[in-house]
Chain A
Amino acid sequence: MEEFVGEIWHKIITRQAQTDFTQAKAEFVDLQGQLATYFRALGGDPGKNLEGVGPRAFNTKRRLVQRIAGTHRHYPVCWQDDRGLRLPLNLAYFPDNGLNEALYFWQTALAAQLPKMRHWFADNQRATLALLKKRPGLAKGYRQLVEATLKTRPDLNMLEDAEKERELAIQQAMLEPGSVEQLPLANGDPLPVPIWVYPAPLYALSPESDDDLDDMGDGSRAEKELNSGRKQAQRFDDAKQTDGLLVFKLECLFTWAEQVDLDRCQEESLDDDASTADDLDIITLSRKRRAGASKLKFDLDLPSAQNDDLPVGDGIRLPEWDYRKQSFIKDYCLLQPMLADDALPAPIPDYLAHQARVLKNRFSLLRPQRTWQRRQPFGDEIDLDAWLELKTQPQRHEEQQDLYRSRNNPQRDMACLLLSDLSMSTDAGLGANGGSEQRVIDVIRDSMVLFAEALASTGDPFAIYGFSSVKNKQVRYQLLKNFAEPYGDEARGRLLAVKPGFYTRMGAAIRQSTEVLKLQKSQQRLLLILSDGKPNDIDRYEGRYGIEDTRRAVIEAKQQGLQPFCVTIDERGNDYLPYLFGEQCYAVVNDLARLPVLLPKLYLNLTGING
C-alpha cells in the first residue's frame, strides 16, 4: 500500500514539476544519419562518431515543486570530446517538434564550428557569430530558437542580485552573440542553455595504467566499447588495489559504484546493475588492460565437440611468415575447414527482402550482353568490315574468307572470393547506432547475404568463406559457399547462421583462400576481404608479427595473379591498411549500417561493370 501511494504521489508531483514538452519530443535515433552527414559537411572531424548521451547533472536553482519531486537535477545538453559528438538522446525543450529538431541541427552545426573549447561562455558566442556570418541561412532559424529558449528561461523577478545579473548576461549573449565578454559570478550553475555546446565533463583523468601493452587486439577493442557508453566515465588508477598476489580480482574489474576504497560483492542480476548505472552520475572504470585480456583468455575456450561445427578433413598445414627471421615457418598453422552442418536451409529474411530484390534487379541487368563476334568462318550475318578489308587488300590470300559474324553467349571472366572476419570482436554492439541491439556480426552477416544475392544474379562465379582462429593449431575456416555449389537456401542458411568467435589469424586464411581462388580459371580473380580490425591472436600473432605475416600472404596472393582488396570497418584502418594491401586496394567503411548496401556497390566499382 505504501508503495502504491508513493508511486501515485511520485507521478503527480513529477507531472507538476515537469517543464519538458514530451508531446513534441524529437528523438536522436531518428535523425542520427542526417545529423552525421550534416556534421561532416559543416567541417566536423569525419572521424568523430555521433552518439546519444543521457542528461547531465547541473546544480541549478530549482523551484520548490521541482525540489520536492526530485527532478531538474539533470538536463540534456550537447557536448563533445576527442572521440565524438554527444547529443542528447531526446530533446523536448520546446513545444514544437520542428523546433526541437532544429535544435539538434543547430547543436550539430555549432559543435562542428567549435571543435576545441576553452571558455564556455565566450567560445559559444564567438562560434555562433562565426557560424551565422558564414552561413546566413541559419540566422532565421537561430532567431526562432533564441525566442523559444528565452521563453523557457527563469523569471528575472524571482532571482537574487548576482544570479539575476548572470541570467541577464546569458540572455543578452543569446540575443546578440559576442556582445558580452564576462559571465558574472553567482552561486550554483545557471540554467543550461540548450542552444550552446558544453565542454566535455571535467573529471580529471588519472594516470594511464602503467602496463603499456601497445596492442591488445580484441582486449583494447572491448575496452573502447565500454568507454563509449552513454555515461560519463572516470578513470581511476587502481594500481594499488590490484598489486600483490591477487593480480586478478573479478570484483576489481568494474563495480557499479562511485569509487570508494572497499570491495563490494558483485550483484548477480544484470538488470539491477543496469538500473544502478542509470542512477549514477559517474561510472568509475578501472583500467588494467592486462587483467582484461587475461579474462578474455579464460573465456574463450573452444566449444565442446558436440556443439561445434563439423570439421572437414584433418586440416591443412600452412606456413607462416616470421619477420624477425625473415623466413617462413613451415607447416606452422593448422587450418581446419569447418562446415556448419546443423544450419537449416533458410529463405531470405523479411527485413532484407526489399534490398535483396533491388540489388537483384540491378545486378541482373549487368549480366554480360550477348555480343557480335567478328571474322567468323560462319555465322548469322555478313561481316561488312571483313568484306571491305578483303576488297581493299586484294593481295591477301583468298582462303582467309572469314566473312561472317555471329552472336556468342559470353561469360564475364570474373571470379570472386569473399573472406569474412568472424572473430569475437565482431560480437561488439554497434556503438554508433545509439545503443541499438545490433552487433557488428549482424551487419557482416547481412552484407554477406546481400552480396551473395547480388552476385548470384550476375552469374559471376563466387565463393564465401569465413575465418577465426585460436592460436596456430586451430585456424577455423568456415565453408559458407564454395565455387561449385549453386547459391540457394542451403548456402543462405549457412550464411545466416554464422557465429562470431575467437581471434583473427588473417595470414593463414588468406593463404588458403589464395589456394582456392587460384584454381578458378577466370581471367580476373578478386579476393575480397571483409575485416573489422588488425590481425591478432592470443599467441605472438599480434602487432607487427601479425601485420607482417598478413602482408606476406597478400603479396603471395598478388603473385598468383589474384587481386586482393580489403574492406574494413576499423576507423583506424588508414594507419595500417596501405602497408598491408597497397594504397588503392582497400576501403574503410565509416558508416557500418550502410555496409550491406555498399559492399555490392563496391564490387561493381572494383570490377568496372559500373562503367
Chain B
Amino acid sequence: MTNDIHYLPQGREIEIFQGAANNRLPVLIKGPTGCGKTRFVEYMAAELGRPLHTIACHDDLTASDLVGRHLIGADGTYWQDGPLTRAVREGGICYLDEVVEARKDTTVVLHPLSDHRRVLPIERTGEMIEAHPDFMLVISYNPGYQNLIKGLKPSTRQRFVAMNFEYPSPEREVVIVCQESGIDKQTAEQLVSLGNDLRRLKDHDLEEAASTRLLIYAAMMIQSGITKREACTACLAEPLTDEAETLVAIQRLIQAYF
C-alpha cells in the first residue's frame, strides 16, 4: 500500500502504534510543540487505512462538542453526531490534539471508551454505542508547560499506551527539513545546527524551543527566495521571544551561521 505522507521514524514508534492498533488499545503521545506528533498520527492513519478524525482541543471544548447535539431541521429536530461519536460508529482513528486544553468534563467521556468496555454512552439520547472494531483513540499533549491546573489526571493517563516524542536527532532532522522544503542539504544542516543551539536556551531564555516545524518554515522561506538571515529572523527569532535582549543574542547567533 502506498502512503503519500512522509514520516521518518525516530525509533520504534511505528511498531508500537501498530501493536496498540492491533490490540485495540488507546494511545497517548507526549512531546514538545512541533516535533511531529500530528504528522505521525496522519501517517499511521494512512498506513493502517483508517479514516482520521482530528479534533484540536481548546479551552471551550465541551463534551457535547465531541459527542454531538440536537439540531433543528426542516422536519423538526434531529440528532447530529459529533466527531467522536462518528468515529466510534464508523471506525477510524479519533485524534484529540492537545487534550489538556479541553475542559475537564471531556476527559470523563473518554474513560469508558479507553478501557476494555469500549463503549460511548450518550446521555442525551440514552444510547450506548459499542465501538467499531477499527475505532482507535489517540490523544496528545505537551507536558512542557508547568501548569498546575492543566495536567492530565493520572486516572486518565493510566488508560493509555504512552509514547514520548522528542525532536529528531540532527541527522534525521536534516533529512526531514530537506524533504519537506526541498532545500539543499548544506543549508538544511546549518538550519538544524542553529535550531539545536536555540534548543539549548529552553528554560533559560526561551519558554519553548525552536521546533522542527519552525525549521521547516524557515527552510521554505529561504527556498522561496528570502535571504537566509531574514528568513531565520522571521521564523526562528521573532516567534520564540519578545524580549529585546534575547532577540539581539539570537540575531548574533543567526549571523554566526549565515
Interface residues of A (CB under 8 A from B): 33-38, 40-43, 46, 105, 109, 134-138, 141, 385, 388-389, 391-392, 524, 526, 563, 565, 584-585, 587, 590-591, 602, 605-608, 611
Contacting pair A37 B201 (CB below 8 A): yes
B204 touching A40, Cβ below 8 Å? yes
- CA gap between A43 and B193 in the complex, in Å: 11
Q: Contact check, B252 vs A105: say whether CB atoms are below 8 A apart.
A: yes
Given the contacts A42-B253, A611-B59, A606 and B190 also touching, CB distance less than 8 Å = no
Are the CB atoms of A605 and B200 closer together than 8 Å? no
Closest chain B CB from A253 CB (angstroms): 36
Contact string, B58-94, partner A, CB cutoff 8 A, digits 1/0? 0100000000011110001101000000000000000
Additional pairs, 18, CB under 8 Å, beyond known A389-B70, A605-B146: A35-B249, A40-B204, A40-B205, A41-B205, A42-B253, A42-B256, A46-B200, A135-B256, A137-B255, A388-B70, A391-B76, A391-B77, A392-B77, A524-B148, A587-B146, A591-B205, A606-B148, A611-B101
A33 (CB) vs chain B CBs: closest residue: B245
Query: B163 an interface residue at 8 Å Cβ cutoff?
Result: no
Q: Which of A35, A37, A385, A605 has the most CB of B within 10 A?
A: A37
- In this complex, the member of B145, B248, B249, B252 whose beta carbon has the largest number of chain A beta carbons within 10 angstroms is B252
Q: How far is the CB of B124 from chain A (nearest CB, A)?
A: 7
User: Measured between C-beta atoms, what is the minimum distance from B141 to chain A in Å?
Assistant: 13
Q: How far is the CA of A36 from the CA of B246 in the complex (A)?
A: 9
Interface centre among A385, A585, A602, A605 (most CB of B within 10 A): A605
Q: Is the CB of A388 within 8 A of B72?
A: yes
Residues in chain B within 8 A of chain A (CB atoms): 59, 69-72, 76-77, 79, 101, 124, 145-151, 190, 193, 197-198, 200-201, 204-205, 245-246, 248-250, 252-258
Give complex CA distance A391, B258 in Å. Answer: 66
With contacts A40-B200, A40-B201, A43-B200 taken as known, whether A136 is within 8 angstroms of B250 at the C-beta atoms is no
Query: Cα distance A135–B197 when bound, in Å?
Result: 11
**Residue among A35, A138, A388, A591 making CB contact with B204, cutoff 8 Å:** A591
CA–CA, A607 and B124, complex, Å: 33
When the two chains form the complex, which single residue of A38, A587, A608 contacts B149, counting CB atoms closer than 8 Å? A608
Q: Are A136 and B190 in contact (CB under 8 A)?
A: yes
- Is B149 touching A607 in the complex (CB atoms < 8 A)? yes
What is the chain A residue whose CB lies nearest that of B205?
A: A37
The reply to whether A43 and B197 contact each other, CB–CB distance below 8 Å, is yes
**Of A41, A385, A526, the contact of B197 (CB 8 Å cutoff):** A41
Q: How far is the CB of A371 from chain B (nearest CB, A)?
A: 10
Give the residues in chain B near A590, CB-CB below 8 Å: 204
Chain A, residue nearest B193 (CB): A134
Nearest neighbor of B151 in chain A, beta-carbon distance? A584
B169 → chain A, closest Cβ, in Å? 16
Contact between chains at B200 and A137 (CB < 8 Å): no
Beta-carbon contact of B146 and A584 below 8 Å: yes
Query: Given A43-B200, A608-B150, does the pair A37, B70 have CB atoms closer than 8 Å?
Result: no
Q: Are A41 and B148 in contact, with the CB atoms below 8 A?
A: no
CB pairs A–B below 8 angstroms (12 shown):
A34-B248, A36-B249, A40-B200, A41-B205, A42-B253, A46-B204, A137-B254, A524-B148, A526-B148, A591-B204, A606-B149, A608-B149
**A37 and B249: CB pair below 8 A?**
yes
Among all A-B residue pairs, the 5 with the closest Cβ atoms: A37-B249, A608-B149, A135-B256, A33-B245, A34-B249
Contact partners of B246 in chain A: CB under 8 A: 37
In Å, the complex CA distance between A391 and B77 comes to 8
Contact A137 B148 (CB under 8 A): no
- A392 touches which one: B70, B205, B254, B255 (CB < 8 A)? B70
CB distance from B204 to the nearest CB of A (A): 6
In the complex, chain A residues whose CB is within 8 Å of the CB of B253: 38, 41-42
Q: Does A34 lie within 8 Å of B252, measured CB to CB?
A: yes
The answer to whether A137 and B257 touch across the interface, beta carbons within 8 angstroms, is yes
In the complex, chain A residues whose CB is within 8 Å of the CB of B249: 33-38, 41
